[in-house]
Amino acid sequence: MIQVSAASLLIEEPYTPGLSREYVAKTYGVALDDVAKLGSAENPFGPSPKALAVVREASARIDIYPEWTARVFREAIAAKFGFEADRIVCGAGETEVISLIIRAFAKAGDSILMYEPCFPIYHIFAENEGRVPIYVPMGPDFDLVVDRYIDTLRKDQPKIAFITNPHSPSGKLMEEADIRRICDAAADNTLVVLDEAYIHFSETPGSIALTREYSNLIVLRTFSKAYGLAGLRLGFGIAQNKALIAPLLAMKPTWNLGQMQIAGGGAAMADDAHVEYTVKTIVEMRNYVTGRLKGLNRFRMIPGSRSNFFMLEITDDSLDSTQAFNALLERGVIVKDCSVSFRGLGKRYLRIDVSLKKHMDRLADALRDIDSGKHAAKG
């Protein structure tokens, strides 16, 4: 009989992905093209046409093993940011790189620091690997109280300290000076992991360059958001300190990226025009939806998002996040119910993507219906 040790027992808290457009269309009788999918932070324009063309071409090579370190892709990333390829590790999504980091730099029983709320994969992976999450509460309107984070960092000296910038689910952006403060405050045996999954939408270059100054810093990026390749599964970690990358390369699954991932990632990253158009549109729509949601009585938009999503607070005590989530589904709008997607938020918040104007209008109209107590209309 197989025995399961206490250290390997699974935490019964799965990641909760956003619902599909097809499910909502079928369940609620809304035309598929009218469903506003605003719960997964995906690129509404999809991937670069150049990336799609290269992926199709690479499909002719799926009978052949790729180079096991995805060297061509790593070299493309290195050239983009002015690094050497051996300073980069690639994964099947940024989430795979996160799992490798937790296994490589923290052993069972070690602590891992993060804000609460945070990207749930941090604590789900940590707990299922027998590591111990330490949470730093955020301030009013989810302000990043950096002094509180640094105090906890110094007191507990965790093996790993996660920062998401812009933060998820709030979209708040941490200033680079504060990232420096965190790196300076970290103990010699603490790895600072800066997750820049949504950095393009902040209209800043991000802080990859800081890895040249801090040997305890690794930066993560994904191709699921601005590059529109969520279904291809691509991400990477980059650090000037090769000692942070070498163990990740050694322990990753041998062929964790396939031919189409390697080819598509490089082509997507080279298409600056596609990314710039995506970011420009999202920033414009972020401002647009902010205006459209003013004046609601039962909802309040949390200010200050610099990402491709924002948080909505439910201010009416007679309505909770799950009720609001379901009421929006009935109106063909998919969002994230923060009570099931993010630990520590209770039932007062939704996270909502910024997308195309027609989807922002459908969201705003649906919220005004709910705000006024109207029943849902199909279609």
Considering the chain, tell me which residue range(s) the CATH 3.40.640.10 domain(s) occupy. Answer: 49-270
Superfamily of domain 11-46+273-372: Aspartate Aminotransferase, domain 1 (3.90.1150.10)
Q: Which amino acid is at 228?
A: G
In tens, the pLDDT along 77-123 reads: 999 999 999 999 999 999 999 999 999 999 999 999 999 999 999 99
pLDDT given for residue 373 in this prediction: 80
pLDDT tier for residue 267 given thresholds of 50, 70 and 90: very high
Q: Give me the percent of the chain exceeding a pLDDT of 70.
A: 94
Does this model's pTM top 0.75? Answer: yes
Residue 33: helix, strand or coil by DSSP? helix
Considering the chain, tell me which residue range(s) the CATH 3.90.1150.10 domain(s) occupy. Answer: 11-46+273-372
**Other Cβ atoms closer than 10 A to 198:** 26
- CA dist 13 to 59, 132, 343, Å? 36, 15, 10
Structure tokens at 257: 């990226």
DSSP 217: E
Strands 217-222 vs 235-238: parallel, antiparallel or unpaired = antiparallel
In tens, the pLDDT along 328-378 reads: 999 999 999 999 989 999 999 999 999 999 999 999 999 999 999 865 554
Residue 13 has pLDDT above 70, yes or no: no
DSSP sequence for 115-162: EES--THHHHHHHHTT-EEEEEE--GGG---HHHHHHHHHHH--SEEE
Structure tokens at 272: 């600056």
Strands 132-137 vs 191-195: parallel, antiparallel or unpaired = unpaired
DSSP 297: S
Question: CA-CA distance, 94 to 235, in Å (whole number)?
Answer: 4
- CA dist 347 to 38, 158, 304, 350, Å? 18, 30, 21, 9
In tens, the pLDDT along 210-244 reads: 999 999 999 999 999 999 999 999 999 999 999 99
- The helix (H) or strand (E) run that includes residue 311 is strand 309-314
Top CATH class, 49-270: alpha beta
